[in-house]
């Protein structure tokens, strides 16, 4: 990152210090601490993100070299063992809370994108970060694989997360969606086949909201008739269907279209009978914005290698990395 020192200085200056100290107190972050306070821990890990440092040694050496530049921000050189202990012990919930506080500020700053419809549009998805199961024994994913998973509800109005949840890799995407999704009336929720759960679909419909998703191959249905005649723009059919599974009893709309990129016929279902088939297809394709967001995180943040192996150390690093992405929107020069 070019001119990382300037970016880092601006970044840390924008952290809401008052609220941060409240979170520290709530989770006893600085209780019995004499040397490395949570503010210094936060600054050290943000410095690692801004400068691309990948190890505790690199962070400690970098802070030592830049001590004169960082002193006015309340930061000071740290010992590697002290920083390692802080990452292991200080509750990651301090930084999770700070992320959500900053996220609420960002929503007022990001430009709003206008769609051809008035409904708020969201996509929910998850992405995994692979880790060695032998080293990170708590991060269970598959029998011989470990992973950390980032679950995210993406707000397409400002192209920012509405919420993020970080879990072990084996935590179900559907479980997080059902537990954490605060369904907002008249909104549209887009997701892939991993979220095929009829209870979730019913909850969205009951809340007077809409969903758009790809139809799972093993989901049986009966065609009730045409919703509208097949149109141009690659739309092959627009039908009214009813699922054979009684867990979702209302009628649905199934739209089949030709995906020009993959040259495949895609079937999507929705409970929205108002918008045009073309608009529904565009909504489904907009889902890829969250994939771009996840790709950017993995390519630009220091989360491929971790500074500690404990769950708390990993969670702290990922939450601070997420804070780093959000505060960048307030730095005009970035």
Q: What is the DSSP string of 13-52?
A: HTS-HHHHHHHHHHTTTTTT-SSS-HHHHHHHHHHHHHHT
- Is residue 144 a contact partner of residue 136, using CB atoms and an 8 Å limit? no
Given pLDDT bands bounded at 50, 70 and 90, which one contains residue 119? Answer: very high
**Mean pLDDT across the stretch 19-35?**
93
**Mean pLDDT across the stretch 54-67?**
90
Range of the domain at 24: 4-107+315-330
Mean pLDDT of the chain: 89
On whether both 84 and 11 belong to a single domain, the answer is: yes
Q: What pLDDT, on a 0 to 100 scale, did the predictor assign at position 3?
A: 54
Domain count, the chain: 2
Phi, psi of 279 (to 5 degrees): -65, -40
What are the tens digits of pLDDT across the range 171-224? Answer: 999 999 999 999 999 999 999 999 999 999 999 999 999 999 999 989 999 999
The number of beta carbons lying within 10 Å of the beta carbon of residue 207 is 16
Q: What pLDDT, on a 0 to 100 scale, did the predictor assign at position 14?
A: 80
Which of 123, 221, 186, 114 lies closest to 157, judged by CA?
A: 114
**In the predicted model, is pLDDT for residue 165 greater than 90?**
yes
On whether both 42 and 89 belong to a single domain, the answer is: yes
Distance CA 67, CA 49 (A): 17
On whether both 277 and 325 belong to a single domain, the answer is: no
Q: What pLDDT, on a 0 to 100 scale, did the predictor assign at position 226?
A: 86
SS3 assignment, position 231: coil
Q: What pLDDT, on a 0 to 100 scale, did the predictor assign at position 229?
A: 67
* Range with the poorest average pLDDT among 4-18, 52-66, 164-178, 201-215: 4-18
Q: Is residue 295 part of a domain?
A: no
Residue % of the chain over a pLDDT of 90 = 64
* Range with the poorest average pLDDT among 33-37, 127-131, 282-286: 33-37
Instruction: Check residue 105 and report its DSSP letter.
Output: H
SS3 assignment, position 124: strand
On whether both 240 and 320 belong to a single domain, the answer is: no
Q: What pLDDT, on a 0 to 100 scale, did the predictor assign at position 113?
A: 65
On whether both 246 and 323 belong to a single domain, the answer is: no
Which are the contacts of 264, defined by CB distance < 8 A and separation ≥ 6? 258
Cα distances (Å, whole numbers) of residue 76 to 65, 79, 316 = 11, 10, 20
Which of 71, 32, 104, 20 lies closest to 330, judged by CA?
A: 104
Q: Is residue 214 part of a domain?
A: yes
Q: Is residue 147 part of a domain?
A: no
Q: Is residue 308 part of a domain?
A: no
What are the tens digits of pLDDT across the range 211-254? Answer: 999 999 899 999 999 887 666 777 899 999 999 999 999 999 99
Q: Is residue 196 part of a domain?
A: no
Cα distances (Å, whole numbers) of residue 116 to 113, 121, 123, 308 = 10, 11, 17, 47
On whether both 280 and 323 belong to a single domain, the answer is: no
Q: Is residue 54 part of a domain?
A: yes
Q: Is residue 11 part of a domain?
A: yes
On whether both 8 and 95 belong to a single domain, the answer is: yes
**Mean pLDDT across the stretch 278-300?**
91
Q: What pLDDT, on a 0 to 100 scale, did the predictor assign at position 1?
A: 40
Distance CA 312, CA 328 (A): 25
How much is the pTM?
A: 0.88
Bigger pLDDT: 96 vs 70: 96
- Find the helix or strand (DSSP H, E) in which 9 lies: helix 4-13
Q: Is residue 68 part of a domain?
A: yes
Q: What pLDDT, on a 0 to 100 scale, did the predictor assign at position 104?
A: 85
On whether both 14 and 100 belong to a single domain, the answer is: yes
**In the predicted model, is pLDDT for residue 87 greater than 90?**
yes
Residue % of the chain over a pLDDT of 70 = 92
On whether both 319 and 269 belong to a single domain, the answer is: no
Instruction: Check residue 204 and report its DSSP letter.
Output: H
On whether both 35 and 89 belong to a single domain, the answer is: yes
- Find the helix or strand (DSSP H, E) in which 142 lies: strand 140-142
**Mean pLDDT across the stretch 120-134?**
95
**Mean pLDDT across the stretch 72-91?**
90
Distance CA 224, CA 36 (A): 66
């Amino acid at each position: 990152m070019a001119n990382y020192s300037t970016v880092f200085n601006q970044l840390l200056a924008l952290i809401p210090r008052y609220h941060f100290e409240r979170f520290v107190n709530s989770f006893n972050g600085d209780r019995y601490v004499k040397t490395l306070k949570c503010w210094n821990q936060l600054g050290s890990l943000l410095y690692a993100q801004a400068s691309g440092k990948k190890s505790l040694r690199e962070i400690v050496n970098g802070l030592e070299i830049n001590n004169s530049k960082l002193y006015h921000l309340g930061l000071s050189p740290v010992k590697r063992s002290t920083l390692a202990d802080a990452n292991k012990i200080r509750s990651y919930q301090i930084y999770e809370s700070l992320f959500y506080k900053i996220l609420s500020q960002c929503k007022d700053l990001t430009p709003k994108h206008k769609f051809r419809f008035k409904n708020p549009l969201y996509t929910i998805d998850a992405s995994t970060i692979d880790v060695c199961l032998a080293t990170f024994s708590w991060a269970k994913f598959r029998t011989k694989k470990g992973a950390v998973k980032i679950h995210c509800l993406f707000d397409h109005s400002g192209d920012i997360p509405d919420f993020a949840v970080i879990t072990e890799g084996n935590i179900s995407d559907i479980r997080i969606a059902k537990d954490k999704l605060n369904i907002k009336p008249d909104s549209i929720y887009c997701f892939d086949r991993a979220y095929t759960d009829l209870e979730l679909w019913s909850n969205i419909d009951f809340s007077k909201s809409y969903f758009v998703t790809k139809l799972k191959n093993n989901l049986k249905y009966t065609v009730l008739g045409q919703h509208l005649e097949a149109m141009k723009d690659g739309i092959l059919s627009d039908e009214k269907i009813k699922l054979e599974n009684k867990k979702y009893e209302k009628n649905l709309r199934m739209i089949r279209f030709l995906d020009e990129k993959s040259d495949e016929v895609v079937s999507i279902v929705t409970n929205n009978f108002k918008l045009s088939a073309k608009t529904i297809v565009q909504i489904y394709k907009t889902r890829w914005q969250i994939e771009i967001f996840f790709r950017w995180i993995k390519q630009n943040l220091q989360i491929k290698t971790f500074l500690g192996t404990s769950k708390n150390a990993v969670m702290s690093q990922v939450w601070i990395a997420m804070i780093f992405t959000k505060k960048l929107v307030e730095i005009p020069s970035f």
